[in-house]
Amino acid sequence: MTVRALFRAATVEGHAAPHNTLHLKVFYPAQLSGGEQEQNMGIVAANAEQAPFPVVILFNGINCGPELYQWLAIALAERGIVTVTFSWVAENLPGMVALTPGVDLAMLMPDRYGQGPTASAVPALLHELETLNAEGVLAGLLDLNHVILGGHSAGGRVAIESASPDFFPSVCAAFAYGAHTAAVMQLGYPAGKILPLPDRLPLLLMGGTQDGVIANSSDRYGITWERATTPVERTFRESIQGGRDDSYLILLEGANHFSFVDPFDATTGRAFLDFSATQSGAALRELMAEAIGLFVEAYVGNSHAAIEAREAMVQRLAAPQPLIAHFERK
C-alpha cells in the first residue's frame, strides 16, 4: 500500500493573526502511475478503488508536534482511512503560546460545559475537508458523512467531548488515548468531579498503566488518583451511560503517556512527569493502530464489513494477552 500526504492551510474564525492558522497534513491511500504530474511535482493520485474514504481528524496533545502521530496516520491510511493531522500555534491559555489541539476554555466552564464542542479547530477542519472533496487528488473521494474525531492527551479530551451529532452532524465516532474528563478545580468545579460526555456516538477510550503524566497531574483535580488509569476508568464508567455495546475501554499494560507518540520528543511538553514504559513501544503502537483501525471500520456504516470489523475488534481485544491489562465494553 502506498501512502501519500498533501498539505493545506486553514483559518480559524474568531482568532487574531498570527494565531489563527492551521497547517494540515492529510494522509491518503495513493496509486503510483508514473504520470507527468507525479514525476514533476510529486502529486500522486488517490487509490480510488478504496473510496469513499472515511476521515479521521487527529488532535495532538499540547506541545506535541503532529509529526509524532504520523505512525498512526500512515497505519490508518493503509487501511483506506484518510487521516488529518494539524499544527496550530496559539495562545492556548492567557499569556501562554503553545502548540495546541484547540481547547475552547469557555466551553469548559461550569455554566457552558456540554452545550457545545470544546474542540475549537473542528469547523475550520471540516470546511477544509469540503474543499479537498471538491478539488484536487481527493475530489469526490471523501466520505464526509463519516468523520471520526480522535486524539492524545488534551487532544483526546476535546475529541471525545466534541463528538456529538448535535455539534457536528458528520461526526460518527471518537477515540482517545491518555485522556479523561476530570474537571479542573481552577475553573470552578469541586474536587474529583468527572464531567459527562455527549454519549451519542461510538467511543474508544484507551489508557496506559504507566501513565505518569496523568498520575502526576492529579493536584489540578483536587484528588490523588489510586492508579494512573483511574480517571480514564472513571470517565468510561461515569461519563457515558452505555447500553449500546459501542463504547470500549482498553487499558494497556506497561504503556505510559507517551507510548502513543513516535518518535519521542523530550524537548517540550511534560514528558518529565511520565513513568517508564515496561512494554515495547513498537508492540504497543501496533496494537493501538489495529484497535483504532478496527474501531473506525466498525462504525462507518452498517455493512457486512462493518459488522465483521466489530466482531474482529472484540475477539482481538477480549482475548487474554500480555499487552492488555483490561478490556471492557458497554
pLDDT band at 40 (very low <50, low <70, confident <90, very high): low
Q: How many angstroms separate the CA atoms of 317 and 291, rounded?
A: 8
Q: Which domain holds residue 53?
A: 2-329
Decide if 113 contacts 162 (C-beta within 8 A): no
Q: How far is CA 139 from CA 47, 111, 143, 292, in A?
A: 12, 41, 11, 25
pTM of the entire structure?
A: 0.96
Q: Give tens-digit pLDDT for 293-302.
A: 999 999 997 7
DSSP for residue 268: S
Cβ-in-10-Å burial (0-12, 13-18, 19+) of 33 comes to exposed
Please tell me the distance from the alpha carbon of residue 2 to that of residue 29, in angstroms, as a whole number.
6
From 44, 112, 57, 50, select the one nearest 83 (Cα to Cα).
57
Q: What is the CATH number of the domain that holds 43?
A: 3.40.50.1820
Cα–Cα distance between 50 and 148 in angstroms, integer? 18
- Please check the confidence at residue 99 and state whether its pLDDT lies above 70: yes
Q: Is-contact 180 161, C-beta < 8 A?
A: no
Percent of the chain with pLDDT over 90: 88
- Which residue is listed with cell 490523588? 224
Instruction: State whether residue 288 is helix, strand or coil.
Output: helix
Retrieve residue 170's grid coordinates: 458528520
Best CA proximity match to 54, nearest among 194, 174, 161: 174
The pLDDT of 14-43, averaged and rounded, is 87
H/E element holding 238?
helix 230-238
> Tell me: the pLDDT tens digits for 173-224?
999 999 999 999 999 999 999 999 999 999 999 999 999 999 999 999 999 9
Q: Are 141 and 77 in contact (CB under 8 A)?
A: no
At position 50, the amino acid (one-letter code) is Q
> 3-state class of 183 per DSSP?
coil
Which sign does the torsion angle of CA 238, 240, 245, 250 carry? negative
The yes-or-no verdict on residue 245 having pLDDT over 90 is yes
88-97, 216-225, 230-239, range with the lowest pLDDT: 88-97
- Summarised one tens digit per residue, pLDDT across range 142-185 is 999 999 999 999 999 999 999 999 999 999 999 999 999 999 99
pLDDT of residue 235: 98
Predicted pLDDT of residue 1: 83
pLDDT of residue 122: 98
Average pLDDT rounded to a whole number, residues 59-74: 98
Distance CA 307, CA 305 (A): 5
pLDDT of residue 120: 96
Residue 314 CB contacts under 8 Å (≥ 6 apart), including other chains: 329
Rounded distance, CA 19 to CA 67, Å?
Answer: 20
For residue 250, name the pLDDT band (cuts at 50, 70, 90): very high
- When pLDDT is cut at 50, 70 and 90, the band that residue 94 belongs to is confident
Helix axes 70-77, 281-298, angle to 10 degrees: 50
**What distance in Å separates the CA atoms of residue 202 and residue 199, rounded to the nearest whole number?**
8
pLDDT at 265 over 70: yes
Instruction: Tell me the CB-side half-sphere exposure of residue 31, using CA atoms within 13 A.
Output: 11
Report pLDDT for 201.
97
Number of domains in the chain: 1
Cβ pair 317, 327 in contact under 8 A: yes
Residues near 302 by Cβ (< 8 Å), separated by ≥ 6? none
Quote the CA–CA distance of 227 and 325 in Å, as a whole number. 13
Q: What is the mean pLDDT of residues 281-308?
A: 93
Q: Give the pairing of strands 96-99 and 89-93.
A: antiparallel
